Structures are given as structure tokens and as C-alpha cells.
Structure 1
Amino acid sequence: RPGRRDSAGPRLAGTDHGERPRPARIRRALVTVAAAAAAAALGLLFTPVVPFLPEAAGPNSPVVGAGGPAVRPRFDAQSFFTQTVSPRATVSPLVEFPALAAGREAGPTLIVRSEQPVELLRAVTLPDFDGVHWTTSAAYRRADQRLPPPPDRVSYREQEISVHVENADALAWLPTVGRPLALSVGGLGVDESTGDVVVPSDRPAPESYTALGAVPAVDQTRLIVDAPTPAPRRPIYTLPAAVRAAATQATATARTPLGRVEAIRDLFLRDGGFRYDTSAQPPGGHGVYQISQLIASHRGTAEQFASAFAVMVRELGYQARIVLGYRVPAGDRRTGDYRVTGRDVHAWAEVLFDEAGWVAFDPSPRDQQSTDEIDAVERPAGQAPPAADPTGDQQAAVTANGSGVIGATGASRPEISEGGSPGPAAARGGGVSPVVVSAAAVAAVGALAIGVVPVVKGVRGRRRRSRPGTTAQIVGAYWEMVDQLRDAGLPVRATHTGGELAAVVERHRSPRVAAPVAELVAVHEYAVFAPTPGAVPSSDRAWVLVAVLRRELRTGLPWHRRLAARLSPASLRPR
């Protein structure tokens, strides 16, 4: 209609001849803008705690990086929004070391459970030293369950721990085994450079959590040809002449960069006559003055030994830093749990190498006490004094718990009588022939192994299936599958990803064996990285697949191979 066309034409052409928007349109526009602003603000606030969604590639996508079974990293909404957080603690945690170690300050109590031995827990990394305090200037950002991995060049193995926290209000950083890769709780803060997880000032500390950590696996033979990374700048403090002289004298005969670093460590552990102070009032502080006192008195705690080592390594021109954490006492024989308190606080140092990354060194002479009770404090299990001349076959991959702390295993000594000759067991003549005794011993050990190995495997499987939590039970089923494959002689390793493990089985066994493996890998990977706890599938299916795999392996092996797999201790050895 002409009238309709005439009125509409100018509006479409943008020539409304002075007609103004109505008030209702203005109000609608303002409401729309306000709603968009509110939605953006809420998105920034709650993005860090929104669960991740699996990537479209699916659970069997390949994995980038080293370590144990893992999955392709899920979509991370934080790649679009980065929210910084303020840590609950405002002072250097190393300042609290004396009060925690003496029990004068109530620290957190941790009940730790892990399938693998745990001897060290790391809490916070302190890279900055001003001559008085070791501190951190980290910029923490809000973190969810998936955390930044270590650099690609760093070799590591994965280990999972479950922690129940008593007196959680005293927890400022989350203790983990190695560098944390994933957490069961979100909304905390993470330092992307070190992986440290901090309790923010706006969140309560978790009363329980599960952490998957990357434990460094350092090969001593490769470390020998590696080199410590030079420090980018000289220290801002002045080191006393006595401390510089001690470092110079300790490294005078060292021929390699690694040898110089180890010489500083050995100065405190073995060569310099230093002792660990276990008195009621040990020295406190870790600045240059306290380091000078340590060099003069030859007595100190882990606070001073770690600081002195790091400062002297920096004097050599290398990068070094301090780590504060806990030494884990022996576990409960009945439950297998570890109970860690503030009295177990510990400090050690790390040195940066070009290829190996940050390598831990513990210079505290725990086996040399400053009182008459030399053995009052027990050395961590599996950690012995460093060998005088490490051979090319030694591995530094194992350290106190696989935590990466460089150490070596001392050699056992033969029984020596007072006269300096072999003891009575070797010197006696007559009696039962040593050959007969040896043969009987071998037979007894063999008979014991035949009976013990299957029993131990059965107990291990029942413990894995009875773990608290569906995800933990599925993880247990996964490792039960891996151990069955190892006992059957398949070349599977703990460092294989789920996809790599399934590919190995497919190459070496029939599809009837590969099918349950592939399905269990998918169940495991989805359970570990499920978007929400309610999405985790039942663990019953995982253990049904374990039973199917066991049946198919037995069906495909001759009787003597089945017997060998049942008695094989391969899966009982460290992965």
C-alpha cells in the first residue's frame, strides 16, 4: 500500500526525519547492557570452578608428555579468563620452621594414603633470597582440577595420594608428591612455574583431597654429562668470607659441574663433620648470618643446611632454590596410612640442570645428630649416605620415595670378626657342608616364593578393589590390568599412556585379549578426568573387565606359561 511503503522507506534508509526512540526502547537497551555486564562478571567469577568437558577427540586420544597413564588434557575455560588470587599466608613459610619442628606451633596433621611408598611431601617452592629470608614472589591464578605439567624435557613418573587434613585452618599450601598434575578439588591457586598449590584467602582449606603428582625420575648416568644452568645475575647480598672459603675448599678437587654441586652437599652430609641439631632449642633463621653460624659451629637444622647449600651453589654461579615440605614417617602397619604432623616439617634444595630440570639435593645430615643419641631421628627409608664414587650404572631416579632427591645406596659389609678375618660363619670347619646349607636355603626360598607370590598378588587385588571411592577403585582395576600384562610377559611400562598400552597389547595378543584392555583404558581415563563426580561410571564394570582379561590370558597361554605368570614376581617389582 502506498501509505505503508512511504512510512517504512525512510526508516530503512536511516532518514527518520527527527523521530526519536521511545522511552521503552531505551529501557530495554539499558536492561540488555546491564544483563550482559552481569553475565560477564559472573563468568569471570565462576569460570575457575566450572568442570572441564572432555575434548571431542574422546578418551582414547593420544597424550603429549611423559609419565604414567594419563589422558589428553581437557578443555580449560581458564585459557580465556585468568583470575589471580591472594594466598592465605603473607610471610615466608620457612620462618615457621623452628616452631613447627619443635611443636610450639600447631601445624596441619595429614593422613596420607598411597599405593606406592611416600617419604617426602613438597608444599612450597622458595626461589627468592635477599640475604635474610627465602621467599616466593609467585603470581597465583585460580586453578581447577587440571594443573600445568612440567616442561617436556623433564622425565617423571606419576603417583597419586589421598590426603585427609586435620586442623585444616593451619594449611597454607597443599602438600603433594612431586609436582601436582591434577587435584580432586578446584578453586585454589596455582603457581604455573613451579606447580605449587596455595590456599587462597577467599577459600577454606580442603579437609580432604586427592592429588596426582609428577615425581622426577633423574638418571644419574645422564646427569653426569648434564650441566647446571648458570644463574642469570649475581646475588644482591654479600656472602661472608668464611662461607665462600668453605665452598671453594669443598669444590677444589671436583672435576665436573655435577661434581662441584655434590661436593657442597657432601660437605654437610659426610666430609665436614656437621651434625643435625636435635636439642630443645635449635637455632632458627636461614639468612646469611645463620649460614655463617652453621659453618662455624657445624650444627644446624634442615632450615640452615638447605639454605647454606643453595647459597653456596649460587656462589658457584648456578641456579638453586629451597623447597619446604614434610618428611613422611613410617606408615601404619595395619592400615598402611601415613600420619604427618608439623613436627615432620623439612626443607631441602633444588638445582636447575639444562636437561634434567630441577633436581633435588638434601644436604641435612639426619644420621649425624648433635646429641649423644646419634640415631634418635631415623633416616628416611631407602635413603643412604651418598657413595664415594658413583658408578655409571647407578640411578638417581630413586630417592627417598622417588621424590627426586639425589642419593645412593650404601654397599653391605661382610661379617668381620674381632681379629679382622671373616666371622665365625665363614671360618668354621666341620659341621654341615656349606653347599648343602646353600642348596637347602635356595630350596626354602623357592618354596616360599611359590606360596607367597600368589598370596601377595591376591591381597593387592583385594585392597585395590576395596579402596574408598569409585574413581580409586577404577584406578586400582587399571593397575591390576597392567600387572597382569606384565606377569604374562608383555612389554608394558608404567610410562605408557592408555593408548600406547592398548596398542602394545594389540600387537602381541589376539583381539580377544586386546578388547577388554581397550575398554578398561577408556573407562579409566574417563573416570580420572570425568567432568563431574556423578559422571564417573560404576567400578563394577572395570573389575569385570579385569576378570575377562585374566580369563583370556589364561586361555591363550600353555599350562607352563600360565604357571610362570602366576608365580612371576614381575608385577611386585617397582614399575
Structure 2
Amino acid sequence: MARTAEPVLAVATVLAAASALSGFFTGWAWAPPVAVAAVAGALLAWLVTWRRVPGWACAPVALVVLAVGQLYGLHASATLYGLPRPAALRATGEGLLSGWARMLTVTLPADTTPDLLALPVALAFAAAYTGVLLVLRTRLVVAVALPALVVLAACLALTAGREAWALVPTVTLLGTALLLVLVRANRASTDDGASAADARAVGVDLGAQRRHSTAGRVLIGLPGAAAVVALAAFGASALPLADGSGRADPRSVYAPPVQVDQGLSPLVQVRPQLTDSPVPLYRVRVRTDGDPADVSRVRLTALDRFDGALWTQGGRFVLAGSTLPHTTAYAAGADTVRLDVEVLTGASPFLPVVGEPVALDGAAAALDEVSGTLVRADDGPDAGSDAGSATSSSYAVTGLVAHLDDVEGAGPPAGDVGLLALPDVPEWVGERADVARAAGTTPWAQLDALAASLRALPYDPGGLPGHSYGALERVLRTQDPVAGYAEQHASAFAVVARALGYPTRVAVGYRLDPSRAVDGVVEVVSTDVHAWPEVLLDGYGWVAFEPTDVANTVDSPEREEPEVPQVAPDDAVAQPTQADDAADDGGTEVAGGVLGRVVRTGALVVTGLVLLLLLLAGGVVLAKTVRRSRRRARGAPARRVAAAWRETCDLLREQGVPVALARTPLEVARTTAAAGGPAAAASDAVGELATLVTATVCAPAEPTDATARRAWALEADVRRRVAARTPLPRRVLAAVDPRTLRGPRTTPVPEAAAPGDAPTDVPRPEGADDAVPAGAGPADGAGRAG
């Protein structure tokens, strides 16, 4: 039962670690494929153990099984009557090579899609395969939980962006791992090396005794394991430990695949749309619980960085799923507003939203989590076409619109200092801030007074463009002011509000004219473009203010259009305005296309695998060197003589000489002489060492240090002769062969074997590696025959 429970518990630890992905995906649709992959990996490990195939040699087979499983398990819809099509093969290859990159470039929680499942499925498969191999083929105890710990670390890294606790998955992993270690340690401790035949000779049911002993020890240890789990959970919850919000996020160092062209701020596009002929852009329906909602504007983008000349966007775009991340806790509640949008033109990459977007349906988009801005991540309706394109598409976005009850007492939260940044503030900004500060004692009173003062200014849609300090002063000065429009009014409010200490940004979007509504659908045209400021208030999110009175118009005199200097956009202030075209597979396009991405990622993966193989090979060589040094220096002379023979046997195994534990040293020496090849060149030294070992084991007296030194001199002579006759590639392969690190595989002697039959292998008790040479029989602590 214990032997059966250990592989099951090994798989359970992997699944417990993988449960940390619940913070990455929406819902639990990802769990069945990951569980199936873990079970498949465990079954493959059991199969190679049953067939006695070396686990490391079966690694390529495991990769093939994983690839086929992903092809038919995740991309079955891309096959043709069960036959893989190029699209299915390409999707499988990209998932295995670039799945990790895809997982680092989506918003959380993400939808359960095949490309996002590729890495979790591969991790679960590999961890279960490795864990079950460790359980079935080694006597390791604590190390069997290492594959599950690797899975947990990977899941915590992938979900670091959620800044949430992973306490439940971690405690679950701890509980299952402790149970596995408890069963494994106590089962191993009952294996005292006694044979079943000896037990029957004295009338003892050895199997029953071992079962009772293991069960008793496990039952006694269960309360201790439960206490450890409870203490860990209590300590993580009650003590001032890290809560997961400060985890290093690999997303911060990985460039998202949605790249956009750099251009000037969208705010400079307000005036051309106001003054040009109206062009239909969208058809919009706004609803709350099925009823029309009182929403007067939709937002395209929000600009939160100001350098004194341009308002720009400081966030980055990552691919979005159907569920969009949001963290605002609304003090007075919020309405859930659904915005149904029909896009009539592909001139703009931005998608209109309302409030704080929380869900998206019907469009492949990328999201700037900081500002809540959505841009198209696919070709879209005639992407990049002229504004008059007749091609259309539809999508729906759901947003939260805060209730403003008791907003008069709300203040700004502690947040990004960039939302308060104002470079080289001119004197007039401080004067305007002092006037607003004198209008009231609460933030709302000051901000409302500032908006009212700006609304009193005349409105001229044909005014001079610009929103730099100079352009704003031109509109606000008391002597000979120039009438402006929403670009200057919104910018002036944001600048002065920041001088007052309130985090502010400028939003650009479109007003919804209810007079043009037909059956609740409003057609938005280009002349509806508008800009307004938004202030971040604690418990209410971004609250919009209106500093522009579009009804307070003035007659625009005919003026010569000023020449606007052509300024090359700077990377620090440039604003993304156009998404990359032809973004393949949901907007994952990067420079070089899909083929280039696969080649680059494949090169990185291959390089990583080569480095890993070199590291493993170096570890094997180092382990052998350390083991040889310890064998030569540690223990009594008899133990060192036996260790020299064991080292020689390991060398012979690496050369392909069969060295069975049931054979005596002299039999091994004769086998070496008859084997031919490089090992036969050292057969005389092997024979002398075998005679020395036999005499040492069977002699009644303890051997001397000189005998031990002679044994190791013979071992060095054997090694030197074999190396001289072995080609260099074969020597390298023998040096990195890890099989001798775990010793020869043993099989029990059949009970019905004839007395003259020579079994190829016999089981050996733990710890007898260096104490007893092959074929010498049991020995006491000094190495002599018992």
C-alpha cells in the first residue's frame, strides 16, 4: 500500500503546486488538462520503470509524448479528421517554445486558451514524470518533493502580477509533501535487509510485520505533520510576513509583443476633428442591467505624463482576455455599465470604453492596465484604412461607473508620484492654484471651483492648437486672452490640479449626443471629439470634471493658420497611436513575424538546453571526483580497499563490462579479461586487485594502511590503462555517464533458483556501497567476513 501511495502522493504534490495557477486564469477550465498531463507523466514514468528503461534515455520519448498530447489535447480543432494540419503543428510548436512568453504578456486573469495552457501542461507533465521516477527508482526521501516545488515557484512567478496570497496552494502542497515524506521515510526505515527466506525459517511473517510497522509509524507521524501544516498556515496569516504583494514580477523585465508606433499625443488630434467635416466613427449603445444608462461620454485614452509641452501615456499595452483586471474598491458602490460598440472605421487603433473596464467580448485587444486604455491587437476592421472606410465590426466592453455619494469628503490616495509631476512650473500656475485653494477647504470644493472658473472662459473650436505652458497661459491670461477649446481647458485643469497636490490626468474621447439616439443607439461622429480631466479620489477611482462649456462659443475671426513646428517624437513622451498590423494569432505580432519569433525563441530554448546539459554533465563529473576522493580517504583500511574495488567496478561498468553484485571479485576479473576492448588491457591489474580484495575480506586480521594504498595504486593503474586505449569521445561519454552514481540495479534472487544457478543481481542493504565488495558476501564493520 505504501509503495502504491507514494507515486499517487507525488502526483498530488504536483497538482497542489499547480493549483497556484488559479490566480492566472479565469475559472477552472485549465485544471482538467493540467491534471491529465500530470497523470500521463506519472504513467509514463511507471511504464519505463516497469520495462527497466533508463529514465534519462526515455527523456526524448517523453518529449514526443508531450508534443503529441499537446497537439491532440489542445489543438484538436486544428486537425483534419485526426491528421495534423500545418496550422496545428505550428500552434503546437509555438506553444512549446513560446508559451512562457505568451503567459508573460497577457492581462490577469487570462482566458483559458491553448497557447496559454502549453506551459502549465508541460510543467505538470515533466514534474509528475520526474517525481514518480524519483519515487520508484531511488531511495531519496525529501528530494521527491523537489519537482512540485519547481512547479510552485514557476506558478508564483507567473501570477506575481496579481499581488495576491497563494496561501491555500502553498499549504496544500506542504501537506501533501509532508505526507509523502512521512510514508516514504517510514517505509524505508522498516526495510532492514532481512530476507523473506530467513524470516520463514524462524516462523516470522516478514511482510505483515513490515506493513504493521510502516502503518504504525505513519499514523504516529500524522499528528506531527498536521501540526506543522497548521503552524505554517497560522504563521503566514498572523505574523508580519510577506503577503505576496511584493513578489518579483518577470513581466516587468519582458517586453510585451504588442508594439505600437510612436507619435504625438492624441490630444493634438482634437482640433482637426472639431473643425473638419463630420465622419461617422461608432454606433454606441450604453446599458445598465438592460436599461439605458446616464453616460455622457466614452473614453479612448487617458494621458498621465506631462513634460511641459505634451500630455502622453506612460503605461504599456499587454494582451487582454475577456476578463480585465481591476483593483478599485468603490466606497459608495458602482454601476455595471455595458457598452455595445459598432466600429464604423479603422482609422483609430483605440477602442472606446466607459468607466473602469472590467470585461471585453468580441474583440482581440491589448490593455494598458494603468489607464484602462484598449487598443486593437488584430487587423481589425480595415485597420489602417482611411476614415471613410465602410467596413465595420462590433464588440462589447463592460465598465464600472462609480456612485458619487459623499464624494465631497474624498481626498487623493497615496499613489504614483508621476501623477503629480510638473516640470519647471511657471509662476501663473501657482497663482491659479492659490485662487482655487482659497475657494474651499475640501478637495472637492477646490476642484469644483477650478472647473467652474475654466468653464467661464469662452469656447472656440477653431482656436489656436497646443497645450504647452505657453498655450495655456495664452488662454488664461487676464490681458488680451485668446479663446480656446477642450484641449486647453482640460490641460489647464490638470496642470493646476497637480499643483494643488491632486493626481490628475487628461482623457480624450467623444461626447454622446442623446439627440441623435435611435432606439437607444447613438451614432458618434468625429466632431463629437472631446477632452476632459480626471482626478483620482480615494474610494471613487478616476472622477471626471468638466472645465469646458461648449455652449459658451465665440465667433472665430479669420486668422492665418500658424505654422506648427515639426517636432520629432521623443521616446520618453511619445504616444502610441497605431498598433502593428497583421498581428498573428490574437495580436502577438513582433518584429520579424511569427517565423522570426519561433526562430529566436527556439534558439534561446536550444541554447538554454545546451547550457543545462553542460551544467548537468559538469555536476556528474564533479560528483564522481568528490566521491572518489572520499572513498580513498575515509574509513578503516579494509573499507578503503573495498572502496577501491567499487571504484574499479564503476569504471568497468562505464566500459560496458557486466559487473553483477552476485559475482566474486575473481569472477569479475575473469569477465574483464574475456570482455576484450580497453578494459582487457588492464585485466592483470584488475586480477591483482581482485585477489587483494578477496584476501582482505576473508582474512582474520585487519589489513594495514599499506594494503589500502596498494589497492588504490592498482585502481589508478587500471584507470590509466583503460583511458590510454579508449577514444576521446568514448572517454567523455563515460565521464558524464550518471548511472554509476546510483549503483547497479538489483533484482531479488528467485526463491526457486537451483543451487548452481548464478543470479545476475542480488539486493544489497542500504549503506553497503563501499563496505562490501561485489561477491564477497556480508561483512562486519571492518570489512572482514562475518
Higher normalized helix content (fraction of residues) = 2
TM-score calculated relative to the size of structure 1: 0.50
Q: Which has the higher contact order (CA 8 A, sep 6+)?
A: 1
TM-score calculated relative to the size of structure 2: 0.37
Structure number with bigger Rg: 2
